[in-house]
A and B are shown apart, each in its own frame.
Chain A
Amino acid sequence: MVLELKKPRPIWQIMFSTHHTDVALLYTITGLAFLFMAGVLAMLIRTHLFFPGQNFLISDSVTFNRIFTVHGLTMLFLFALPVAAGIGNYLIPIMVRYKDMAYPKLNAIAFWMNPIGGALLWLGFSDTSWVSYAPYSVIRAPGPAADMMIFGLKILGISSILSSINFIVTILKCKHPDLPLRKVPLFAWSMLTVSLMTLVAMPSYAAALIMLLTDRLGVSGFFNPTAGGDPIAYLHLFWFTFHPEVYIFLLPAIGMMYELIPRFSRKPLFSQGSGVFAFVMLGMIGFASWGHHMYSTGMDFTTKVVFMIGTLAAVPASGMHVFNFLATMWGGRIKFAAPMKFAVGGIALFFSAGAGGVLNSAMPLDFISHGTYWVVGHMHLFLTGTIAFGFVGMIYYIFPFITGRMYNEKLASIHFIMMLWGTVQVFFTQHLLGLEGMARRVYDYPPEYSSWVELNQIATVGAWILGGGFVAFLINLLYYSSKGKEANMDDPFGIGGKYYYPYQAKNPHH
């Protein structure tokens, strides 16, 4: 039993502990709590859009804006980042055979910034949308909500920089001398890549947030056109951080699949080298494509071509991951336990989301899909279809190691089927809605457009199915963590063999 506590302790001791498994537990629980809170907001949004021209659920457009803003901010900064950091905290010290993270106190500080940042985002409930583009966020977004959002994001940004430093030092400096870097498991490689990316990318957004704040206070005018500023400058600073951030969200999920797929295929990984190469490639290429978020802002043709090629350059590296997964599964005696189901589903949806991404990167097509539901569908297909699938699979995987009990496999199957079905139904449909011309972030739509009405209702039903899947997940987490069957701690999934769980390798510190 490596991941859970050695002996029962009061909960406050876990809360103020600096041990990596305790911090990891806090990170994971916080991330999951925010997942369900933001999920409720998503259900509100979709249910509201079920009928056109009615405001039976959300009474005014400002409230609608606030809901989708907080939904986006929470899912990205308070679910995706903390859960990745939590799983990383659990596994990375074990993977590199060190007793803890390199800086345990820094680790705990980095975690405790999350609830504070989260409280600022949720108390203010800002209405700027998660991108908070100028000039709206500068001259109109009401305070103190928008200012609280800026401070909350600032704190979360510092938190992710601190935890990045911690991961980098742990992996590079604290790994066991007998373990060469190239043999470090691929999940640790993914965390190393995203930590380095965070260090390079985050300062740009940190600067943009400070500039946004001083602009709002009226002492500067970087992004305020009436003060001679340029709102496009904000877009550049923002997307220089947040296109790489897409990979920062994605790569840990890919790394988790690298943990799950060889285990449940009962085969060694097909190629460690190509996985490492593809991570490093994506980490660099991620910085060459931020402009594709801004094709329609009037940049010149040459720049657009450069960003288009930079975007397409991510395809081969992503393909290497997919082929690595497929080659690992090929000929294996696959055991489709819940973690494996989610990993395989995640690969399939990763492929389809990536195909949509290739279309997006072609700028003539981007002019048609820009600002429509196509974009919403594409980005959610990545975030739900790949990232959430990877995370959920990983949470099922470590569930017995955290609680000492097994989740209910039947409920997990229901969760998987509903989540896969719902994801496809909502987000594929949203692609079609975008092609029909429906703009994203709209509060209402005219009932005369019957195709919009139909597609919105299909998407909303899909969202309810997706939400229903997460109800099954919640029951699994809540009920079976204390009432589930006792897990066989040597081999909870019945895979057999001694070396399928790498972190059970002999480690004097554990």
Chain B
Amino acid sequence: MSHSQEPIYRTTGARFGKMMAILIGIMVVGGVIFFINYDYWNSYLPTAGKIQEQGAIGQHIEQGKVTGQTVEVNLSFLESPDFKTYAFNALSGSDRNPEIHAHVGDKIVFHVKNGGKSFHAFGVTASKEGSGPVIDGTAVGTADNPLKPGKGGDATFVASQPGEYYYICTVPGHRELGMEGKIEIAPAGGAAASSGAEVKPTGNKVEFTLSFVMSSDFKQYAFNALPGQPGTNPDIKVKSGDTVTIHIKNDSKSFHSFGVVVDPDNPSNILWNSAVATPDNPLKPGKSGDVTFVAGAPGTYHYICTVPGHATLGMDAKFIVE
């Protein structure tokens, strides 16, 4: 069967046009579907990612409410010329990664600028290592969409809990290379700072007498008198540097121990060696104890029963240092 005997069919313009109409028609329809749903295609995390996010909610910290003063901080991302050392503000010396001290409720405003040559992103985190999780609203740029050299931005951070926080570069690896600075958040002290710091004694001596009391049904706990009666949980007012002596008696039927703390929810962190007995070795009913200590930095503190749970039940009163 030779080819010259077969009819030879050659592509015509009309036929070609039909073919292109089909091809381009498919592409146009596809394009319309694609762009109409553009935001949908990349819209949700896979279930595995959601499970992981829920696992991280335990570390999830929201910003607190602004009650204190405003602290302004200028930070600039820097790298050494060989890209081996990374830091904020200075590669070495005292300006490097400056420590920030503030209180719960203080508004810390970060003015961040990328003064380096690499890409960076800013965030505040409570975790001691790794590049997150970043506290809501403190990020300037993200690891996916970082700050380019010369660019900058502002972020505010208001702590809701006292403790140690860190401002870091959230681009993975940069924190480990040195882009990390500490933020020390102390409990709110109104106008006066209640940092719990120790001060030198002024020689002025004051004495107080207290007693642990409980209702007979073991539901109400207090100092000196049961709640509702006069004299319950009296405020103690001293001056900073006073040498304070506390005489305390256990007038209840349970075991107690005494201490002055910053945060009644954290009774183990006792200030100024002010403990009488300990939760492990408490005062037995009817026994007494004395303690003498120097009242520290001004602020509003709490004297509590340091046995876990007792402060929450009522053995919690104000210890004001002026």
Task: List A residues at the B interface (Cβ < 8 Å).
Answer: 1-2, 4-8, 11, 15, 29, 33, 37, 53, 60-62, 66, 115, 119, 122-127, 138-148, 215-218, 221, 224, 226-227, 402-405, 444, 446, 448, 478, 481-483, 486-487, 489-490, 504, 506-508, 510
CB-based contact B11/A490 at 8 Å: no
| B30 contacts the other chain (CB 8 A) | yes
In which size bucket is the chain B interface?
A: 35 or more
Give the complex CA separation of A126 and B55 in angstroms: 26
- A1 near B6 (CB under 8 angstroms)? yes
Within 8 Å by CB of B46, from A2, A217, A227, A446, lies A217
> How far is A145 from B55 in the complex, measured between Cα atoms in Å?
24
What 9 A-B pairs come out closest when comparing CB atoms? A404-B10, A218-B47, A216-B46, A482-B16, A139-B49, A142-B42, A403-B11, A482-B13, A218-B48
Closest residue of chain A to B55, judged by CB?
Answer: A226
Query: Which residues of chain B are within 8 angstroms of A4 by Cβ–Cβ distance?
Result: 9
Interface residues of B (CB under 8 A from A): 1, 3-4, 6-13, 15-20, 22-23, 26-27, 30, 33-34, 37, 40-52, 55, 117-119, 144-145, 148-149
Which residues of chain A are within 8 angstroms of B12 by Cβ–Cβ distance? 482
A5 to B12: give the CA distance in the assembly, Å: 13
Residues of B within 8 A of A402 (CB): 11
Chain A proximity of B84: nearest CB distance (Å): 14
- What's the Cα separation between A141 and B49 when bound, in Å? 9
Is there an interface contact between A6 and B6, defined as CB atoms closer than 8 Å? yes
Given A8-B15, A216-B48, A218-B47, CB of A444 within 8 Å of CB of B144? no
On whether the beta carbons of A510 and B1 are closer than 8 Å, the reply is yes
What A residues does B9 contact at CB under 8 A?
Answer: 1, 4-8, 404
B108 CB to closest chain A CB, in angstroms? 29
**A60: chain B residues within 8 A (beta carbon):** 145
Q: Quick one: which of B44, B45, B46, B118 has the most chain A CB within 10 A?
A: B46
Pick from B26, B41, B50, B119: contact of A124, CB below 8 A. Answer: B41
Closest CB of chain A to B8's CB: distance in Å?
5
In chain B, what residue has the closest Cβ to A445? B119
B16 close to A145 (CB less than 8 A): no
Q: Which A residues lie within 8 Å of B118 (CB)?
A: 446
| Shortest Cβ distance from B144 into A: residue | A61
Contact A119 B7 (CB under 8 A): no
Complex Cα distance, B12 from A4, in Å, reads: 13
- Residue from B10, B18, B50 within 8 A of A218 (CB atoms): B50
The chain B residue with its CB closest to the CB of A124 is: B41
Instruction: Provide 16 A-B residue pairs closer than 8 Å at the C-beta atoms, listed in order of the A residue.
Output: A6-B6, A7-B9, A11-B22, A33-B23, A122-B34, A123-B33, A139-B52, A142-B43, A216-B46, A216-B48, A218-B48, A224-B48, A226-B55, A404-B9, A478-B16, A510-B1
Q: Which residues of B lie under 8 Å from residue A123 when comparing CB positions?
A: 30, 33-34, 37, 41
Collect the chain A residues with CB atoms within 8 Å of residue B117's CB. 446, 448
Kindly identify which residue among B11, B48, B52 contacts A482, using a CB–CB cutoff of 8 Å.
B11
Q: Are A29 and B23 touching (Cβ within 8 A)?
A: yes
Known contacts A139-B46, A404-B9, A53 near B34 by CB under 8 Å:
no
Closest chain-B Cβ to A348's Cβ sits at a distance in Å of 33
Chain A residue with Cβ nearest B50: A218
Considering residues B33, B48, B49, which has the most beta carbons from chain A within 10 angstroms of its beta carbon?
Answer: B48
Residue contact A482 to B6, C-beta cutoff 8 Å? no
Give Cα distance in the complex from A138 to B51, angstroms: 12
Complex Cα spacing A403 to B8, Å: 10
Contact A127 B11 (CB under 8 A): no
Tell me the bound Cα distance from A141 to B8 in angstroms.
Answer: 53
A176 to chain B, nearest CB (A): 16
Contacts of B26 in A (CB 8 A): 115
A405 to B27, CA, bound (A): 27
User: Closest CB-CB distance, A161 to chain B, in whole Å?
Assistant: 25
Q: What's the least CB distance linking B48 to chain A, in Å?
A: 5
Q: Which residues of chain A are near B18, meaning CB under 8 Å? A: 11
CA distance in complex: A226, B117 (Å): 34
List chain A residues, Cβ under 8 A from B15: 8, 11, 482
For the complex, give the distance between the alpha carbons of A404 and B12 in Å: 10
Please, which residue of chain A has its CB at the minimum distance from the CB of B11? Answer: A403
Kindly state the separation between the CA atoms of A6 and B7 in the bound complex, as whole angstroms. 7
- Alpha-carbon distance between A5 and B8 when the two chains are bound, in angstroms: 9
On chain A, the residues within 8 Å of B144 by CB distance are: 61-62
Quick one: given A226-B55, A482-B13, are A215 and B1 in contact (CB under 8 Å)?
Answer: no
User: Known interface pairs A142-B42, A216-B47. Does A446 touch B34 (Cβ–Cβ under 8 Å)?
Assistant: no
Nearest chain B CB to A100's CB is how many angstroms away? 17
Chain B residue contacts of A147, Cβ below 8 A: 46
B34 touching A125 by the CB < 8 A rule?
A: yes
CB-CB under 8 A from A5, the residues of chain B are 9
Contact assessment for A140 and B45 in the assembled complex, using a CB-CB cutoff below 8 Å? yes
Identify the interface centre among B9, B15, B49: most chain A CB within 10 Å of its CB: B49
Cα of A15 to Cα of B27 in the assembled complex, Å: 17
Closest A residue to B33 using CB positions: A123
Most buried by A among B13, B37, B42: B42
With contacts A11-B15, A142-B43 taken as known, whether A489 is within 8 angstroms of B3 at the C-beta atoms is: yes
Do the beta carbons of A143 and B1 come within 8 Å of each other?
no
Contact B23 A143 (CB under 8 A): no
User: Bound state CA distance, A402 and B12, in angstroms?
Assistant: 12
User: In the complex, A140 Cα to B7 Cα: how many Å?
Assistant: 59
Do B34 and A226 touch (CB < 8 A)? no
The docked-state distance in angstroms from the alpha carbon of A226 to that of B15 is 57
Q: Which residues from B are CB-within-8-Å of A483?
A: 13
**Separation of A40 and B287 alpha carbons in the complex (Å):** 87
